[in-house]
Structure 1
Amino acid sequence: MGKIFGLGLSKTGTTSLHQAFKRLGLNSVHYPHKKEIFVGDFGWVDGHDAVSDIPVAPYYPQLDKIYPGSKFILTVREVGEWLESMQRWWSQPARVSDYMIRMRIAVYGVHAFHADRLRYVYQKHMKDVTEYFRNRPRDFLVFNICGGEGWEKLCPFLDRPPPGGNFPWVVPGDKK
């Protein structure tokens, strides 16, 4: 089997997905801080089973070619809730590194919260990813963790038994 890539944008359940991967025994990395991403070098992925969040989300066509046989999971969330969560997250400047600013500009086109721009990017990303994988149901899963989906949807897609216990719902920095 190839790799597993979480293609959801930040605040769509990517941390929960990462924790689920770990519970399934996968070597997973969430929001990797790899400057090589900016020049299209994904060799660092080789050391992992699963990778998620915006450092890989927009690069699905390249990753699909480099890692044939991979699985791609698009985490989604209702756009209004997503924008509220993004506003809370982006209003915490102490958490923002130079790498994060650079990544936000690369993915969202802005480094400060701008609702209209973020809504556009979110909707375009969802449309583009879904269209790209439209005829590949064995390779692509739309997964709404924030809407309550969990092991019952993820494990059959990955052809793995559920590990037992509740699905890990993690909400780092997203609390009011």
Structure 2
Amino acid sequence: MANPPRDTVATPSPPACPPPSLKVIGAGFGRTGTKSLQAALEILLGAPCYHMETIVQPNAVAGLAGDLAAWEAVASTGRSPDWRSLFDARGVAATVDFPVCLYYAELASAYPDAKVILSVRPAADWFRSWAALTATIPQFAWLCPVVPRFRRVVAMITALIFAPVFDAPRIADGVPMDEATCITEYERHNAEVVATIPPERLLVYHLGDGWAPLCDFLGLPVPSVPYPHQNKRRDLSNRSGAGLVALAVVDKWRWVVGAGAAVAVVGVALALLRVQERR
């Protein structure tokens, strides 16, 4: 007698690897117009652009959860992130700002079809903006013992950027960055990018250049809207110090002490920043 047919169970196929999504790799340091460039690239590409805020602020970019834990792992192990999970699985089309700009060469190899944009500005102007941003961190050192996420953010940024790149491991303690060291590293990095990336694949993009060179480089039409201008100096303290406070309280603090206390923490932070702005 013939054996009865057996029920067959379909073997699930392994999950498909998402196609490479990254089209633009930002190699420029933070404070070279990266926030405006992020907004511009999102307009041009119609997809998320990865920025430091993507890492430290939950849902800073639509559809992307905060990636703080992933970058904490990078800081502790020294191994690069899983770029495919970080970018391709979520349709990220571009990157700008720290810390991803430090991995521009690795990304250029991993995404051979992506173009590279080195955003720049005069070194002295860059340092003034960079120093103003980092000077806000010690103002909120009091948050570290009571707001776990803020402590984690400061530790991650120190381990990945302040200490290894600028030899400034004590920013949170109020020890400022050395201007000569920072400018030397800024200029060294920019020169290295130009020497590493083939010229046909690289755009050196100067702060204030607007749409024309960007669209020409990417082969896209100039949008009908003005080029974005974000993170101006007048908004700096509100976007840096208060922004870091906000990212902390919305993620953890409000669940510990209640929404009212969370609002109070943000209020104190904003008051301190306003006092600082008047000096």
TM score, norm. by length of structure 2:
0.57
Q: Which fold has the larger relative contact order, with Cα–Cα distance below 8 Å and residues 6 or more apart in sequence? A: 1
* Residue equivalent to 1:109: 167
Q: In 2, Cα distance between the equivalents of 1:107 and 1:45?
A: 24
TM score, norm. by length of structure 1:
0.88
**1:73-92 alignment, distance < 5 Å:** 73-92=117-136
* Residue equivalent to 1:125: 189
* Residue equivalent to 1:57: 101
Q: CA deviation at 1:161?
A: 1.1
* Residue equivalent to 1:149: 209
Question: Are 1:7 and 1:57, in contact at CA under 8 Å, matched by a contact in 2?
Answer: yes
Residue 80 (structure 2) pairs with residue 40 (structure 1): yes
Higher helix share: 2
Q: Which SS does the other structure have where 1:168 is aligned?
A: coil
Residue 239 (structure 2) pairs with residue 174 (structure 1): no
Counterpart AA for 1:45: F
CA distances 1:100-119 after superposition (whole Å, capped 9, x unpaired) = 22222233332432211101
Question: Are 1:6 and 1:75, in contact at CA under 8 Å, matched by a contact in 2?
Answer: yes
Q: In 1, Cα distance between the equivalents of 2:183 and 2:154?
A: 23
Q: In 2, Cα distance between the equivalents of 1:120 and 1:68?
A: 29
Question: Are 2:27 and 2:101, in contact at CA under 8 Å, matched by a contact in 1?
Answer: yes
Comparing 111-120 and 83-92, the one that deviates more: 111-120
Counterpart AA for 2:47: L
User: Identity percentage over the alignment?
Assistant: 27
Count of aligned pairs = 172
Comparing 59-68 and 99-108, the one that deviates more: 99-108
Q: Which SS does the other structure have where 2:231 is aligned?
A: coil
Counterpart AA for 1:107: V
CA distances 1:14-70 after superposition (whole Å, capped 9, x unpaired) = 111101012221321211424154411223122311111121112122111111111
From 46, 49, 52, the counterpart of 1:28: 49
Residue 190 (structure 2) pairs with residue 165 (structure 1): no
Bigger radius of gyration among the two: 2
Comparing 148-157 and 39-48, the one that deviates more: 39-48
Q: In 2, Cα distance between the equivalents of 1:55 and 1:23?
A: 22
Q: CA deviation at 1:2?
A: 4.8
Question: Are 1:54 and 1:103, in contact at CA under 8 Å, matched by a contact in 2?
Answer: no
When the two chains are superposed, the root-mean-square deviation of aligned CA atoms in Å is: 2.0
Task: Provide runs of 4+ in structure 1 moved above 6 Å.
Answer: none
Q: In 2, Cα distance between the equivalents of 1:2 and 1:100?
A: 24
Q: In 2, Cα distance between the equivalents of 1:160 and 1:74?
A: 18
